[in-house]
């Protein structure tokens, strides 16, 4: 039928093309057709306006109508429009995508080579991957959306000049009742405070010394599973446990064991003090098997590691333009195992028990924030026992930092930071200056506490 | 061992005491006020955002997460007003009853006709809301619709008391009708105002006044000096009855402009609890319309 119709039209057009129409004739016919179409469009428009008016009148009438009697069940209230949803509606579509550009200029009294090789003696041989001049930390792509009514899914993909990395990719349950939640995939561990945050929401450009010495510059993000429970108490208390693969190359190392070899547990409590102040505090612990080459030069360490943490945050937010925040974490790492020289293959027993603390304060005034931070290692505990002999690494490594940042808006930030770093106790101090830019586009960032 | 663990978990989940009242968590004070009028003694209401706080900017504090954990019903403004803290609050609450799509999740904006929906937006335009102007609560017409939706949600959450919620709605509606008759007699029709923020559009629509200009060039972004001086020139000739703002935004700019133009600066209470004596939505509306007079 359809085919026949098409054939008929073809035939017609062939037939008409057979006639020799004057060019102008065709044009005038087209113009006439256009006019008709225009008129029709106008009619439709006018009708639409009428329909809208009628709709509005109906709405008005239903509003003005007297209240229904209470005894009778009222008609089901129909939403005027579909609930827009929490995540920005169609305008920002599903999934939500955001990109955070984190870039900085860096200047040090040391050469790039010296900065790269600058470990912390007795703690780690790991230097800092940073160049004098322009640095691109990452353009971090983040995706999230509800999978269904059971799970939310997140992925964080920082793209650096070396390529893309899968920093996080995990699900979170939303279907469990009464305070239970399971998270699984690859995610930032709930251990400690800075560890569970992305580096671009930190108050300073870089991680404090205890993180550098025990965990690494970015905290630990691991494949595994997490269970948390928000307790039914009058104030906020949450407990969590995690079973992790143990890939972090300072704490654990992928080859330290053949299976899952890192476990964490943490507890956090929070109280509001008056209307404007909140504190959050709690202990964390992570323990596991370790195989790493970051303990001493040209040596491999294998053994067991346990890291204890204690976090404390205080925030005072009297208004949107003013605020004050204190944050501190204490970390204590104990480690025992064997240190093997990579060349000779000779092994010696190594026991380490070392700690560190950072303490920082941030004051906010309108779009400006001013911050100071002090980091120290070996505060209460500084034992490094190699083959039964205690080693002395000299005085305590420490660092002091100051920063100012300006928020152009919620989505862009300019930060100036200065570090005086005395973490290399045998070498020169490192005086560093950072000028950092952070930009966010796409989905609205979550305002976490 | 496994049995023990399961029974332990069961005990934990079932141990929560059976409470007679249902827990309603409202993000904003006005939502709590209307929910209170509808629920009366059948509900416990917890309001998350204080009138002195900006719902755009606040963080999902642990105490708010705890409140959401225990909520039977979460009521929020919607239209992206709470976009900064609500998505993370919902996930962190570990409460399946209040997730989007569940009957315990009530987006109050679904019951109103949002105005100023934006077809194309980007953030260079300021704090724009693609879904429409989110400040819809200073409108009796909108509140009437929202109250109906709320009472239905309450009845769904707590079917035993459904008739109570319906009766409360009926008395709220008749009270609102009476008030509306009073309010509509206030001579605001045809008046012109300059406003700091896009906050009074629904009220203007309802009572027939006009917002002829904004001190903010772009919503949510403090105005440039150039824009203010341009306003200064036009404001004098505009015949405006006053310059409107709320207690927490643009007070300085509004007072300065008022002084220079000789126009009246009007600080309009923006939510329940924002000034002494404003204890519920009705007294809020009374105060709002009185301030405009």
Strand ranges, E, within B37-154: 43-47, 73-76, 105-107
Using the Cβ of A86 and the Cβ atoms of chain B, whether some distance falls under 8 Å is answered with: yes
Q: How many A-B residue pairs are in contact by the CB < 8 A criterion?
A: 169
A376-416 pLDDT tens trace: 999 999 999 999 999 988 889 999 999 999 999 889 999 99
Q: What is the pLDDT of residue A64?
A: 44
**Pairing outcome for strands B192-195 and B243-245:** parallel
Q: What is the pLDDT of residue B150?
A: 96
Using the Cβ of B61 and the Cβ atoms of chain A, whether some distance falls under 8 Å is answered with: yes
Cβ atoms of B120 and A96 within 8 Å: the answer is no
Handedness of CA B141, B145, B148, B153 (dihedral sign): negative
What's the longest Cα–Cα distance across chain A?
109
CB contact under 8 A, A70 and B177: no
**Pairing outcome for strands B210-214 and B192-195:** parallel
Cβ atoms of B82 and B74 within 8 Å: the answer is no
Contacts of residue A246, Cβ cutoff 8 Å, sequence gap at least 6: A222, A252, A253, A254, A256, A257, A260, A261, A262, A288, A289
Does one domain contain both B26 and B165?
yes
Does one domain contain both B168 and B104?
yes
Mean pLDDT of A418-424: 94
CB interface of B with A, residues 4-33, below 8 Å: 12-13, 15-16
Domains of chain A as residue ranges with CATH: 90-442 (2.40.160.10)
Domain coverage including residue B55: 20-181
**What's the token pair of residue A320?**
């949107």
Q: How far apart are CA B227 and CA B120, in angstroms?
A: 24
CB contact under 8 A, A272 and B61: yes
- Predicted confidence (pLDDT) at residue A33 exceeds the cutoff of 90: no
CB interface of A with B, residues 90-149, below 8 Å: 91-92, 146, 149
The alpha carbon of residue B237 is apart from the nearest alpha carbon of chain A, in Å, by 33
List the strands of the sheet with B210-214, edge to edge: B210-214, B192-195, B243-245, B265-267
Does one domain contain both B131 and B204?
no
CB contact under 8 A, B100 and A146: yes
In a domain, B114, yes or no: yes
In the predicted model, what is the mean pLDDT of chain A? 87
Does one domain contain both B157 and B41?
yes
Does one domain contain both B123 and B206?
no
- Of these ranges, A265-269, A320-324, A380-384, B187-191, the one predicted with the greatest mean pLDDT is A265-269
- Predicted confidence (pLDDT) at residue B253 exceeds the cutoff of 60: yes
Does one domain contain both B151 and B63?
yes
Return the residue matching tokens 């660092």.
A399
Beta-ladder partners of B221? B218
* Domain containing residue B83: CATH number: 3.40.50.1980
Cβ atoms of A258 and A283 within 8 Å: the answer is no
- Answer with the one of B181, B202, B234 that is the final residue of a domain: B181
- Chain B residue numbers touching A312 (CB-CB < 8 A): none
Nearest CA in chain A to B100: A85
Q: Which of B12, B66, B79 sits opposite A84 (nearest CB)?
A: B79
Give A201's pLDDT tier (boundaries 50, 70, 90): very high
In the predicted model, what is the mean pLDDT of chain B? 89
Using the Cβ of B111 and the Cβ atoms of chain A, whether some distance falls under 8 Å is answered with: yes
Does one domain contain both B45 and B173?
yes
Best of A55, A57, A66, A67 to disrupt the B interface by mutation (most B CBs within 10 Å)? A67
Cβ atoms of A140 and A99 within 8 Å: the answer is yes
Residue A282 dihedral angles phi and psi, to the nearest 5°: 160, 160
Does one domain contain both B269 and B170?
no
**What's the token pair of residue B184?**
């509509």
Mean pLDDT of B135-163: 94
Does one domain contain both B130 and B160?
yes
- Chain A residue numbers touching B221 (CB-CB < 8 A): 409
Does one domain contain both B260 and B172?
no
Q: What is the pLDDT of residue B248?
A: 77
Work out how many domains chain B is built from and give that number: 2
A32 versus B34: the higher-pLDDT residue is B34
Mean pLDDT of B38-51: 94
Does one domain contain both B217 and B86?
no
- Answer with the one of B150, B181, B212 that is the final residue of a domain: B181
CB contact under 8 A, B87 and A87: yes
In a domain, B12, yes or no: no
Strand ranges, E, within A366-447: 368-386, 389-390, 398-409, 412-422, 430-442
Q: Which helix (H) or strand (E) holds A282?
A: strand A277-292
- What percentage of chain A carries pLDDT values higher than 70? 85
Q: How far apart are CA B153 and CA B26, in angstroms?
A: 13
Beta-ladder partners of A171? A153, A184
Does one domain contain both B58 and B103?
yes
Contacts of residue B102, Cβ cutoff 8 Å, sequence gap at least 6: A149, B96
Using the Cβ of B179 and the Cβ atoms of chain A, whether some distance falls under 8 Å is answered with: no
Q: Measured in Å, how far apart are chain A's first and last C-alpha atoms?
A: 67
Nearest CA in chain A to B112: A80
User: Per-residue DSSP letters for A215-259?
Assistant: T-TT--EEEEEEEEEE--SSSEEEEEEEEE----TTTT-TTSSSS
Task: List Cα–Cα distances, A138 to A408, A410, A438, B114, in angstroms.
Answer: 20, 19, 10, 39
- Chain A residue numbers touching B97 (CB-CB < 8 A): 177
Nearest CA in chain A to B65: A236
Q: How far apart are CA B161 and CA B154, in angstroms?
A: 9
- Whether cis (ω within 30° of 0) applies to the bond prior to A95 is yes
Q: What is the pLDDT of residue B223?
A: 85
CB contact under 8 A, B166 and A73: yes
Mean pLDDT of B240-260: 85
Give A37's pLDDT tier (boundaries 50, 70, 90): confident
Half-sphere exposure for A266 (CA within 13 Å, toward CB): 27
A292-304 pLDDT tens trace: 999 998 999 999 9
The alpha carbon of residue B239 is apart from the nearest alpha carbon of chain A, in Å, by 31
Q: How far apart are CA B257 and CA B238, in angstroms?
A: 13
Q: What is the pLDDT of residue A439?
A: 96
Q: Which of B50, B84, B113 sits opposite A80 (nearest CB)?
A: B113
A141-152 pLDDT tens trace: 999 999 988 999
Q: Which of A68, A85, A447 sits opposite B84 (nearest CB)?
A: A447
Using the Cβ of B107 and the Cβ atoms of chain A, whether some distance falls under 8 Å is answered with: yes
In a domain, B100, yes or no: yes
- Answer with the one of B140, B160, B181 that is the final residue of a domain: B181
Using the Cβ of B60 and the Cβ atoms of chain A, whether some distance falls under 8 Å is answered with: yes
- Predicted confidence (pLDDT) at residue A278 exceeds the cutoff of 80: yes
- Predicted confidence (pLDDT) at residue B9 exceeds the cutoff of 80: no
Using the Cβ of A179 and the Cβ atoms of chain B, whether some distance falls under 8 Å is answered with: yes
In a domain, B58, yes or no: yes
- Predicted confidence (pLDDT) at residue A353 exceeds the cutoff of 60: yes
Task: List Cα–Cα distances, A231 to A24, A268, B22, B47, B164, in angstroms.
Answer: 84, 11, 19, 21, 32
Q: What is the pLDDT of residue B54?
A: 87
Q: What is the pLDDT of residue A114?
A: 92
Contacts of residue B39, Cβ cutoff 8 Å, sequence gap at least 6: B22, B24, B45, B154, B165, B168
CB contact under 8 A, B149 and A69: no
- Chain B residue numbers touching A88 (CB-CB < 8 A): 80, 83, 130-131
Task: List Cα–Cα distances, A362 to A359, A445, B12, in angstroms.
Answer: 10, 21, 39
A85 versus B95: the higher-pLDDT residue is B95
For residue A319, which of A360, A373, A353, A364 has the smallest C-alpha distance?
Answer: A364
Mean pLDDT of A31-38: 75
Q: What is the pLDDT of residue B4?
A: 57
Q: Which of B95, B110, B173 sits opposite A82 (nearest CB)?
A: B110
Give A54's pLDDT tier (boundaries 50, 70, 90): low
A235-268 pLDDT tens trace: 999 999 999 999 999 999 999 889 999 999 999 9
Contacts of residue A200, Cβ cutoff 8 Å, sequence gap at least 6: A100, A102, A137, A140, A438
Nearest CA in chain B to A366: B222
For residue A114, which of A443, A427, A437 has the smallest C-alpha distance?
Answer: A427
Q: What is the pLDDT of residue A262?
A: 96
Cβ atoms of A265 and A285 within 8 Å: the answer is yes
Q: Which helix (H) or strand (E) holds A84?
A: none
In a domain, B208, yes or no: yes
Which value, to the nearest 10 degrees, does the dihedral of the CA atoms of residues B63, B64, B70, B72 take? 160
Nearest CA in chain A to B220: A409
């Amino acid at each position: 039928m359809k085919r026949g119709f098409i054939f008929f039209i073809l035939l017609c057009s062939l037939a008409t093309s057979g006639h020799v129409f004057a060019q102008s004739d065709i044009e005038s016919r087209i113009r006439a057709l256009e006019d008709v179409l225009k008129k029709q469009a106008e009619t439709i428009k006018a009708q639409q306006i009428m329909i809208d008016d009628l709709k509005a009148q109906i709405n008005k009438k239903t509003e003005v109508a007297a209240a229904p009697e209470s005894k009778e069940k009222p008609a089901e209230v129909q939403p005027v429009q579909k609930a827009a949803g929490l995540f920005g509606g169609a305008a920002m579509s599903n999934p939500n995508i955001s990109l955070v550009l984190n870039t900085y200029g860096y200047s040090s009294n040391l050469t790039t080579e010296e900065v790269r090789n600058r470990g912390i003696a007795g703690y780690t041989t790991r230097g800092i991957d940073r160049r004098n001049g322009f640095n691109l930390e990452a353009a971090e792509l983040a995706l999230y959306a509800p999978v269904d009514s059971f799970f939310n899914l997140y992925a964080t993909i920082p793209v650096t000049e070396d390529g893309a990395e899968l920093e996080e990719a995990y699900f979170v349950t939303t279907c469990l009742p009464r305070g239970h939640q399971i998270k699984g995939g690859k995610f930032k561990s709930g251990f400690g405070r800075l560890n569970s945050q992305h580096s671009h929401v930190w108050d300073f450009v870089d991680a404090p010394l205890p993180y550098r010495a025990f965990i690494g510059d970015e905290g630990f993000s691991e494949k595994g599973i997490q269970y948390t429970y928000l307790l039914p108490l009058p104030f906020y208390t949450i407990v969590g446990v995690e079973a992790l693969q143990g890939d972090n190359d300072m704490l654990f190392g992928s080859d330290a064991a053949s299976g899952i070899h890192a476990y964490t547990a943490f507890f956090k409590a929070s109280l509001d003090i008056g209307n404007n102040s909140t504190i959050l505090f709690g202990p964390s612990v992570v323990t596991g098997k370790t195989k790493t080459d970051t303990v001493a030069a040209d040596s491999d360490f294998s053994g067991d590691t346990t890291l204890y943490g204690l976090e404390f945050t205080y925030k005072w937010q009297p208004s949107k333009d003013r605020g004050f925040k204190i944050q501190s974490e204490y970390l204590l790492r104990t480690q025992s195992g064997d240190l093997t020289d990579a060349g000779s293959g000779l092994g010696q027993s190594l026991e380490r028990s070392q700690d560190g603390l950072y303490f920082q304060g941030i004051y906010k005034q309108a779009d400006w924030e001013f911050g100071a931070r002090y980091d120290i290692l070996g505060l209460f505990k500084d034992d490094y026992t190699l083959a039964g002999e205690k080693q002395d690494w000299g005085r305590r490594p420490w660092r002091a930092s100051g920063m100012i940042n300006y928020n152009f808006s919620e989505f862009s930030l300019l930060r100036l930071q200065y570090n005086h770093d005395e973490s290399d106790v045998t070498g020169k101090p490192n005086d560093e200056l950072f000028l950092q830019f952070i930009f966010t586009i796409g989905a609205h960032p979550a305002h976490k506490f | 061992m496994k049995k023990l663990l399961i029974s332990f978990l069961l005990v934990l989940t079932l141990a929560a005491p059976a409470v007679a009242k249902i827990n309603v968590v409202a993000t904003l004070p006005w939502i709590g006020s209307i929910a209170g009028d509808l629920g009366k003694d059948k509900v416990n209401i917890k309001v998350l955002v204080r009138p002195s706080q900006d719902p755009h900017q606040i963080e999902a504090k642990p105490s708010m997460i705890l409140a959401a954990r225990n909520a039977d019903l979460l009521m929020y403004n919607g239209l992206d007003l709470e976009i900064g803290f609500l998505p993370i609050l919902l996930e962190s609450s570990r409460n399946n009853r209040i997730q989007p799509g569940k009957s315990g999740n009530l987006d109050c904006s679904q019951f109103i006709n949002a105005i100023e929906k934006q077809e194309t937006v980007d953030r260079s335009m300021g704090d724009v809301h693609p879904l429409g102007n989110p400040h819809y609560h200073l409108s009796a017409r909108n509140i009437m619709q929202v109250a109906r939706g709320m009472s239905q949600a309450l009845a769904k959450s707590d079917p035993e008391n459904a008739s109570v919620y319906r009766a409360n709605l009926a008395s709220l509606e008749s009270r609102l009708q009476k008030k509306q008759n009073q309010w509509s007699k206030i001579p605001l029709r045809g008046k012109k105002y300059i406003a700091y923020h896009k906050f009074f559009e629904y009220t203007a629509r309802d009572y027939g006044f006009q917002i002829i200009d904004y001190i903010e060039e772009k919503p949510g972004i403090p105005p440039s000096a150039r824009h203010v001086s341009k306003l200064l020139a036009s404001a004098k000739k505009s015949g405006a009855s006053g310059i409107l703002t709320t207690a927490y935004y643009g007070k300085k700019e509004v007072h300065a402009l008022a002084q220079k133009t000789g126009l009246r600066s009007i600080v309009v209470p923006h939510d329940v609890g924002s000034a002494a004596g404003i204890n519920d939505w009705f007294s809020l509306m009374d105060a709002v319309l009185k301030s405009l007079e």
